[in-house]
Amino acid sequence: MPHHPNPHEHHTDEVHAPRPVHYAEQALLGAILLEPHQLTTIDALDAGHFSTHAHGTLWQAMRELPPPDPDTHRSSPAWLNAVLALARPHAPGLTATYLHNLIQVCPQPRHAPSYARMIRADHTRRTLLMHAERLAQTAADTTLPNPATTTLAQADALGQFLDTLSGQFAPHPGSLPRTLVHAIRAAQGGEEALDEEQLLLSTATAHPSTLKDMRWLLPDDFTLPLHSALWQCPTTLVHNGEPVDRVTLLWEAQHRGLLADGHGPDELIDLVSTPVGSPEHWGERVLQRALLSRAFDVGTRIAAYAQDPANTPHQLITGSRRALADLTSLRTRWQSSTSPRPPAARAPRGPAVARAGPPVRALTPGTRALR
């Protein structure tokens, strides 16, 4: 018996079982081949929603041809032949035999609207995965000239896609995905990140008057716990109206138990003794790295939701919105840090300090950040 090639077969050494959406697509196409008049009951479905090129091509051909008269269609294969003739130039693997197979595997032609909803749901999952992976990749791309701006634009695109989904799927009681996702921080900077944090601590100690305008930077934004704890020393002193220098900072560090963690007084003083540039510059660098790390985590979390076939579209929408919300506070603080300040706020209270910082390698030997 001759073998008729299946346009969905992949001739590789490893054969994967078709996913459930494959059967939904076959059922829908078979239903329309049997009852072309049902095309009028299928809304918001186009060729791009199908998981395979051949199925999408068939669907496009069916939409382009006017439906035949039902009585004529029952006694003549003319419409089937016309569909095949229109689709085959774009999908040469299609055969008349495959079209007849589609008709045979369709369980119930009247269930065509349900099959279409399944196809849209699977397309939603695939598209959401694409947006999430793009967000994570953008956040981790160290070659971008404006990484924060580009990453936030990608987050906006993902949010707009979620808004579109909310209009496509009927309201449903909110439920979160059951997928377990472990937080993954992007490797943002390594030694460079630690150097920038040390430069921030040193410069903030030398120019503490700027700290009142840097409430947009929080301890959780630092990559090293020691740096996070040390950042709270000058900010607390400023808040309490106390003087800030290397000695007063060391005294505050002692009260916070930092000297009990194996770090001697000389080490901490050395760590905050290399001021370069301005605190705002290094603070923005630290905050940007925290923003990108959070965006990477959000992207990988949503991607994990989309890769789990157990999640319904409603769960994907709810879980993705929750994940994106985790980026909101950091985004707000980033916008606050980069927004132009009024002249009065920019006026220096002491010696003028340039906002732009020099290259990180301005650190002198022996002053690398403590690990």
pLDDT exceeds cutoff 50 at 147:
yes
Q: Are 268 and 258 in contact (CB under 8 A)?
A: yes
Residue range 13-38, pLDDT digits in tens: 345 778 999 999 999 999 999 999 99
- 101-129 average pLDDT score: 95
Q: How far is CA 129 from the centre of its chain?
A: 9
Of 86-90, 249-253, 257-261, give the lowest mean pLDDT range: 257-261
The answer to whether 86 and 61 have CB atoms below 8 angstroms apart is yes
pLDDT at 358: 52
pLDDT of residue 189: 58
Confidence (pLDDT) at 343? 56
- In the prediction, which pLDDT does 351 show? 47
Residue whose tokens read 């054969």: 15
Q: Are 276 and 203 in contact (CB under 8 A)?
A: yes
| Rounded (10°) CA dihedral 95, 96, 98, 100 | 180
Question: 7 versus 297: which is more confidently predicted?
Answer: 297
pLDDT band of residue 204 (cuts 50, 70, 90) is very high
Which of these, 244, 255, 184, lies nearest to 209 by C-alpha position? 244
Name the token pair of 182: 């472990």
- Model pLDDT for residues 94-107, shown as the tens digit of each residue: 999 999 999 999 99
The answer to which of 146-160, 258-272, 337-351 has the lowest mean pLDDT is 337-351
Q: How far apart are CA 112 and CA 38, in angstroms?
A: 8
**What's the CATH architecture for 191-289+354-362?**
Orthogonal Bundle (1.10)
Structure tokens at 325: 């919300």
Ranges in the chain annotated CATH 1.10.860.10: 191-289+354-362
Among 141-150, 238-247, 298-307, 331-340, the minimum mean pLDDT is found in 331-340
**Per-residue confidence (pLDDT) for residue 308, from 0 to 100:** 93
Instruction: Give tens-digit pLDDT for 288-338.
Output: 999 999 999 999 999 999 999 999 999 999 999 999 999 999 999 999 998
Cα(43)–Cα(342) distance, rounded to whole angstroms?
A: 53
> Among all chains, which residue has been given the structure tokens 């909101």?
328
CA distances to 124, 132, 315 from 19, rounded to whole Å, are: 15, 21, 20
Lowest mean pLDDT among 106-110, 178-182, 358-362: 358-362
**Is pLDDT at 223 greater than 70 in this prediction?**
yes
Q: pLDDT by residue (tens digit) across 161-187?
A: 999 988 787 766 668 888 877 766 555
> Is residue 264's pLDDT more than 70?
yes
Report the 3 state secondary structure along the chain: CCCCCCCCCCCCCCCCCCCHHHHHHHHHHHHHHHCHHHHHHCCCCCHHHCCCHHHHHHHHHHHHCCCCCHHHHHHCCHHHHHHHHHHCCCCCCCCHHHHHHHHHHCCCHHHHHHHHHHHHHHHHHHHHHHHHHHHHHHHHCCCCCCHHHHHHHHHHHHHHHHHHHHHHCCCCCCCCCCCCCCCCCCCCCCHHHHHHHHHHHHHHHHCHHHHHHCCCCCHHHCCCHHHHHHHHHHHHHHHCCCCCCHHHHHHHHHHCCHHHHCCCHHHHHHHCCCCCCCHHHHHHHHHHHHHHHHHHHHHHHHHHHHHCCCCCHHHHHHHHHHHHHHHHHHHHHHHHHHCCCCHHHHCCCCCCCCCCCCCHHHCCCCCCCCC
User: Chain-wide mean pLDDT for the chain?
Assistant: 86
pLDDT at 11: 40
User: Cα 208–213–215 angle (5° rounding)?
Assistant: 100
Nearest to 110, CA basis, from 52, 57, 41: 41
Share above pLDDT 70 across residues of the chain, in percent, rounded to a whole number: 84
The pLDDT score that the predictor gives to residue 362 is: 45
- Which of the four pLDDT bands, split at 50, 70 and 90, describes residue 10? very low
CA distance linking residue 364 with residue 148, whole number of Å: 29
User: 205 vs 208, 229, 264, 341, CA distance in Å?
Assistant: 6, 14, 18, 22
Q: Is the pLDDT of residue 85 over 80?
A: yes
Give residue 188's pLDDT.
54
pLDDT band at 361 (very low <50, low <70, confident <90, very high): very low
What percent of the chain shows pLDDT beyond 90? Answer: 72
CB 261 within 8 A of CB 235: no
For the ranges 53-62, 175-184, 242-251, which has the lowest average pLDDT?
175-184
